Amino acid sequence: MRQIPDTARVLTVSNINHYIKALITSDFHLSGVYVSGEISNFKIYHSGHAYFSLKDSGGLLKCVMFSSRAAGLQFVPKDGMKVLVYGDISVYERDGVYQLYAERMLPDGIGSLYMAYEALKQKLELEGLFDPARKRKLPKLPSCVGVVTSESGAVIRDIQNVIGRRFPTMNIKHIHVSVQGENASPEIVRALQYINRTKCCDVVIIGRGGGSIEDLWAFNEEATVRAVVACTVPIISAVGHETDYTLTDFAADLRAPTPSAAAELAVPILQELQDKIGQYRRKISVLPLTNCKIKQIELDRLKSSRYFTRPLERIEDERIALDQAATRLKEQMNRNVLQKQQKIEMLFTHLVALDPKAILKRGYSIVYNSNSAVVTAAQNVKNGEQIEIQTAKGRFTARREDKALDE
């Protein structure tokens, strides 16, 4: 055996299996895949897990479906049966085996329908046809309920019985349509278009009883779904059993688990409405008496008050209040006049202090030069220049004959 180089990278079996699992699980082509094939070696263990293989002419793929998924199978898988399985490809690391972890399994023909269902659902969902924001509220008290279903099935009888029990006088507009087969979808579309055009009812129940995916397929047709969306009258979808979901369920304004439940959602109970009306009538009949009683209490309170029994006291109280207000007004006016007088005297004192004549009375004088300009400095008067001197009690002229002392 050759020596292993020191730089060689040695991997364990677990390393290899873990790495391969990471590669496979990260490949989006192997996630959420549909695989068709023939069942081989199908077996369910006590744990509820189902183990089997899918094979075709070119190969074999091991599969496992855990108990939570296997319990929801709608048929019994058998060896040799052609099926369509949905799930993820991954690796069971302990054995180093890649396999399909199955989430759903359908017989091959039904599987094709299911794939078409999923594709159309995704398309319409992207268009916003299932957006909750576009759904309308049901009327609280419809005058007529439209029912779009077959005349021969139990659905129409169940709806009529429930509505008759809850609201015996309710009008029901039944429009017969086929609920399965090639003619079903076109007939349903025409019925909804008629209701939309005539506005013959205030709410519509569209539905049928339970069945296989093929039986319910008319309610998965694109034309049916678009007719439901286009109808301006609110629609309740009640197709199949509670576990059945059709595309009209998503498009309708409300989905009911059964036709009987749809009837309960469509109309209120008449007796309950009558009871409420009776309660309101009693409240209304009592209301005037209650108001009169309140007014009588207020009147009695006024009649027993001091002002009502002794009106002169109220006049005296008002006179006293008026005298007090007049006194306060007079005092305020006197305060305002005094404040104004004090302000005037202060301003007058400042004005007198700034009067030039008052300054002259204190012994000061103003000297003017020959140009009648005020002399502010001795050097501004020339020697021999005649000047005029203003005193507090008159003027006189003089002439400068000596040199300025501050020259």
pLDDT, tens digit, for every residue of 339-348?
999 999 898 8
In this predicted structure, the answer to whether residue 177 has a pLDDT above a threshold of 90 is: yes
The CATH architecture assigned to 132-268 reads 3-Layer(aba) Sandwich (3.40)
Looking at residue 156, what is its pLDDT?
A: 95
pLDDT (0 to 100) of residue 407: 46
Q: Is 384 left (phi over 0), alpha (psi -120 to 50) or beta?
A: left
Nearest to 262 by CA among 285, 284, 241, 277: 241
Which percentage of the chain shows pLDDT scores above 90? 55
- Closest-CA residue to 233 (of 148, 124, 121): 148
Whether 370 has a pLDDT exceeding 60, the answer reads yes
Distance CA 281, CA 15 (A): 81
406 falls in which pLDDT band (50, 70, 90)? Answer: low
Q: What is the mean pLDDT of residues 279-285?
A: 76
What lies within 8 Å, CB to CB, of 324 at 6+ separation is: none
Rounded Cα distance, 234 and 203, in Å: 5
The two beta strands, 82-92 and 33-44, are antiparallel
CA angle (233, 235, 241) in 5-degree steps: 170
Least confident of 48-57, 119-128, 312-321: 312-321
Weakest mean pLDDT among 73-77, 226-230, 266-270, 295-299: 295-299
List of E strands, 4-159: 33-44, 50-56, 59-65, 82-92, 97-107, 144-149
pLDDT tens sequence across 211-262:
878 889 999 999 999 999 999 999 999 998 877 789 999 999 999 999 999 9
User: Which residue(s) pair with 64 in the sheet?
Assistant: 51, 101
| pLDDT value, residue 376 | 81
Q: Is 35 helix (H, G, I), strand (E, B) or coil?
A: strand
Show Cβ contacts of residue 40 under 8 Å, excluding neighbours closer than 6 positions. 52, 53, 54, 55, 60, 79, 80
Q: Quick one: average pLDDT of 375-392?
A: 82
What DSSP state is assigned to residue 272? H
Query: What is the greatest pairwise CA distance in the chain?
Result: 152
13 or 10, which is more confident? Answer: 13
pLDDT band at residue 131 using 50, 70 and 90 as cut-offs: very high
Mean pLDDT rounded to a whole number for the chain? 87
pLDDT at 143 over 50: yes
Alpha carbon distance 45, 264 (integer Å):
44
Superfamily of domain 13-122: Nucleic acid-binding proteins (2.40.50.140)
State which H helix or E strand residue 206 sits in: strand 203-208
Beta carbons of 160 and 217 less than 8 angstroms apart: no
Location of each CATH 3.40.50.261 domain in the chain: 132-268
Q: Looking at residue 268, what DSSP letter applies?
A: -
Angle at 207 between CA 204 and CA 213, to 5 degrees: 150
CB 205 within 8 A of CB 219: no
- Give the mean pLDDT of 200-210: 94
Residues in the chain: 407
CATH 2.40.50.140 domain residues, the chain: 13-122
Give 243's DSSP letter: T
